[in-house]
Amino acid sequence: MTDFNAAIENLVTAIADDMRLWTARAEYGDMERAEKFASELTLNVGRKYVKITSDEVCEYDQSTRSSVWGFVVREDDNKFKKGDILLAAGYNQPARNKPRGNIFEGYPNISWTGPGYL
């Protein structure tokens, strides 16, 4: 089994790479913005989950706006395995209906905008 922290970093890299790929394909692609997005991905470690957020600084008033990418389960519980990727149900809680992948087993349905819907 891969180290949890290394697997999380691999997921964050995959998220950032997906943004770079999406930006490169866009007609008006701004690679500087893609790199900025990648540098603003943040891990917030809680008791049960690691919350992945993107903290964007607004160009107009310099305020910080944070959006949740998704959650990763830290330890096995009665429904999910360690490493399961969950969609956000809100800013502080995941949708606990079904995992969207696992950081140790693969995550084919993720993008820079978040884990895929069911």
Asked if residues 34 and 41 have their Cβ atoms less than 8 Å apart, the reply is: no
Question: Quick check: is 93 in a domain?
Answer: yes
H helix count then E strand count, the chain: 2, 6
Instruction: Place 2 in a pLDDT band, splitting at 50, 70 and 90.
Output: low
Question: Quick check: is 92 in a domain?
Answer: yes
Asked if residues 67 and 54 have their Cβ atoms less than 8 Å apart, the reply is: yes
Question: Quick check: is 118 in a domain?
Answer: no
| Residue percentage of the chain with pLDDT more than 90 | 64
Q: Residue 40 CB: number of other CB atoms within 10 A?
A: 16
Question: Quick check: is 115 in a domain?
Answer: no
| Distance from C-alpha of 24 to C-alpha of 12, rounded to nearest angstrom | 18
HEC profile of 40-64? CEEEEECCCEEEEEEEEECCCCCCE
Please write the tens of the pLDDT for every residue from 71-106: 999 999 999 999 999 999 999 999 999 999 999 998
Question: Quick check: is 34 in a domain?
Answer: yes
Question: Quick check: is 117 in a domain?
Answer: no
Predicted TM-score (pTM) of the model is: 0.88
- The domain tally of the chain equals 1
- Residue span of the structural domain in which 45 resides: 4-108
| Distance from C-alpha of 73 to C-alpha of 47, rounded to nearest angstrom | 10
Question: Quick check: is 70 in a domain?
Answer: yes
Question: Quick check: is 114 in a domain?
Answer: no
